[in-house]
Amino acid sequence: MKRSDILTFVGVIVFLSPFFIFDSVYEFYNDWNRSNPMSMAFLKFAILATFGEVLGLRIKTGKYSAPGFGLFPRAVIWGFLGMWIAAAMGVFRSGVPAFMDKFTVFNGMLVAMSGDFTAMKLLGAFFISVMMNTSFAPVFMTLHKITDTHITNNGGKIGCLLKPIPIRKTIISLNWDVQWNFVFKKTIPFFWIPAHTLTFILPTHMQVLFAALLGVALGVILSIAALKSKA
């Protein structure tokens, strides 16, 4: 373990410890989360999902930073993507159970989603996850890849946030073999659907935070996959 790893670990502990040590900090977080859900979604993803990419960089290169990585642009992009994810989660969380509740066999699902854990709530969470990950997720993943490519092509400079993205040129340049055969075919059914099923079982105020934490896990998973593909 390198010195940078120890410092990173200590930094994470220092950052998280106030939420566990001081009730006032945790209560402030919950109050702000309830009254400002979209701004909190921005912050959660800007911090956690970007940290996932930093960990991924550490796994791939052995370092937490690299020329052209673009930490700040990535954080800003993840913040806005996080707001989009939070909105999508709200739509699917409300809409899917309401639709499924119309069928006799799934009657009671809408009520079950706001109650304690039951088989019906598990089934509802699974349906929400399947619908979101087979419709919203591919579009989101492609857009994220486009923004990621845009940041890389501009050397990670802050100015890339103000430059128009050459969508057509960027889409053509994407590695669609990897996008389809790994990102879509493997991460969606084997990681995202199970992970988001668990997400939608959690209390509503914890769901966006857990989704942002999954961004950390995904950064690690994608990095390990990249290393295996080179082996």
Q: Which domain holds residue 18?
A: 1-35
Question: At what angle are helices 71-100 and 37-61 packed, to 10 degrees?
Answer: 120
* 72 and 26 part of one domain: no
Which residues are CB-neighbours of 144 under 8 A, at least 6 positions away?
77, 81
Answer whether 45's CB lies under 8 Å from 215's CB: yes
Residues 27 and 42 placed together within one structural domain of the fold:
no
Give the C-alpha separation, 23 to 39, whole Å.
22
pLDDT of residue 131: 98
Q: How many CB atoms lie within 10 A of CB 89?
A: 21
Mapped onto helix, strand or coil, the DSSP state of residue 63 is coil
In a shared domain, residues 136 and 24? no
Per residue in 36-87, pLDDT (tens digit) is 999 999 999 999 999 988 988 888 888 888 899 999 999 999 999 999 999 9
CA atoms within a 13 Å half-sphere pointing along the CA-CB vector of 78: 24
Residue 57 shares a structural domain with residue 27: no
Same-domain status, 158 and 193:
yes
Q: Let me know whether 47 and 18 are in one domain.
A: no
Spans of the chain, pLDDT less than 70: 222-231
| pLDDT, position 183 | 87
User: pTM to 2 decimals?
Assistant: 0.89
Pair 23, 104 in one domain: no
46 shares a domain with 31: no
- Helices (DSSP H) in the chain: which residue ranges? 3-21, 23-35, 37-61, 71-100, 109-112, 119-153, 167-173, 176-178, 193-201, 204-230
Residues 12, 113 share a domain: no
Claim to verify: residue 79 and residue 141 sit in the same structural domain: yes
Q: Are residues 175 and 118 in the same domain?
A: yes
**Residue 226 backbone dihedrals phi, psi, to 5 degrees:** -65, -40
* Domain match, 111 and 25 both: no
- Which of 220, 222, 219, 200 lies closest to 211, judged by CA? 200
Q: Give ∠ CA 200-203-207 in degrees, rounded to 5.
A: 55
Structural domains counted in the chain: 2
